[in-house]
Amino acid sequence: MAKAARKSRPRVVKTVKALREALADWRKKKAPIALVPTMGALHSGHISLVALAKKSAKKVVVSIFVNPTQFGPNEDFSRYPRTIEADLDKLTAAGADLVFMPDPKEIYPDGFSTMLKPTGPAAVGLDDKFRPGHFDGVATVVAKLFTSVMPDIAIFGNKDYQQLQVIKTMARDLHLPVKVIGAPIVREKDGLALSSRNVYLSPSERAAAPVLHQVLKASAKAIAAGEDPETVLNRGRAKVVSAGFKLDYFEARDAGTLAKLTPQQARPKLRLLIAAKIGKTRLIDNLAV
Contact stretch for ligand AMP (CB under 6 A) within 111-119, 185-193, 202-210, 240-248: 185-193
CB 285 within 8 A of CB 197: no
Q: According to CB under 6 A, which one of 154, 186, 216, 276 is a site residue for ligand AMP? A: 186
Q: Which of residues 19-48 bind ligand AMP (CB under 6 A)?
A: 38-39, 45-46, 48
- Residues 235, 222: Cα–Cα separation, whole Å: 11
CB 182 within 8 A of CB 158: yes
Size of the site for ligand AMP (CB under 6 A): 17
**Phi, psi of 46, deg, nearest 5:** -60, -40
Of 102 and 157, which CB lies nearer to ligand AMP in the complex structure? 157
Least distance CB 60 / ligand AMP (angstroms)? 14
Of 10 and 233, which CB lies nearer to ligand AMP in the complex structure? 10
Applying CB under 6 A, does 185 fall inside the site for ligand AMP?
yes
Of 195 and 232, which CB lies nearer to ligand AMP in the complex structure? 195
Catalytic, out of 43, 46, 134, 213: 46
Least distance CB 1 / ligand AMP (angstroms)? 37
DSSP helix, strand, coil percent of the chain (3-state; round to 5): 40, 20, 40
Contact stretch for ligand AMP (CB under 6 A) within 7-15, 19-27, 103-111, 153-161: 153-161
- Put the strands of the sheet holding 281-288 in their side by side order: 246-254, 270-278, 281-288
Least distance CB 25 / ligand AMP (angstroms)? 27
| Residue nearest ligand AMP (C-beta atom) | 157
Q: According to CB under 6 A, which one of 169, 196, 219, 281 is a site residue for ligand AMP? A: 196
**Phi, psi of 67, deg, nearest 5:** -85, 105
- Residues 170, 167: Cα–Cα separation, whole Å: 5
DSSP character for 78? T
Non-local (6+) Cβ contacts of 40 within 8 A are 64, 65, 66, 81, 82, 83, 84, 87, 196
Least distance CB 70 / ligand AMP (angstroms)? 9
State the greatest distance between any 2 C-alpha atoms of the chain, in Å, as a whole number. Answer: 70
Least distance CB 207 / ligand AMP (angstroms)? 19
Q: Which of residues 154-183 bind ligand AMP (CB under 6 A)?
A: 156-157, 159-160, 183
Amino acid, res. 153: I
**Phi, psi of 139, deg, nearest 5:** -65, -40
User: Is there a catalytic annotation at residue 46?
Assistant: yes
Applying CB under 6 A, does 140 fall inside the site for ligand AMP?
no
CB atoms near residue 12 (< 10 Å)? 16
Of 153 and 233, which CB lies nearer to ligand AMP in the complex structure? 153
Q: Which residues sit at the interface with ligand AMP, rule CB under 6 A?
A: 38-39, 45-46, 48-49, 156-157, 159-160, 183, 185-186, 193-196
Residues that are catalytic: 46
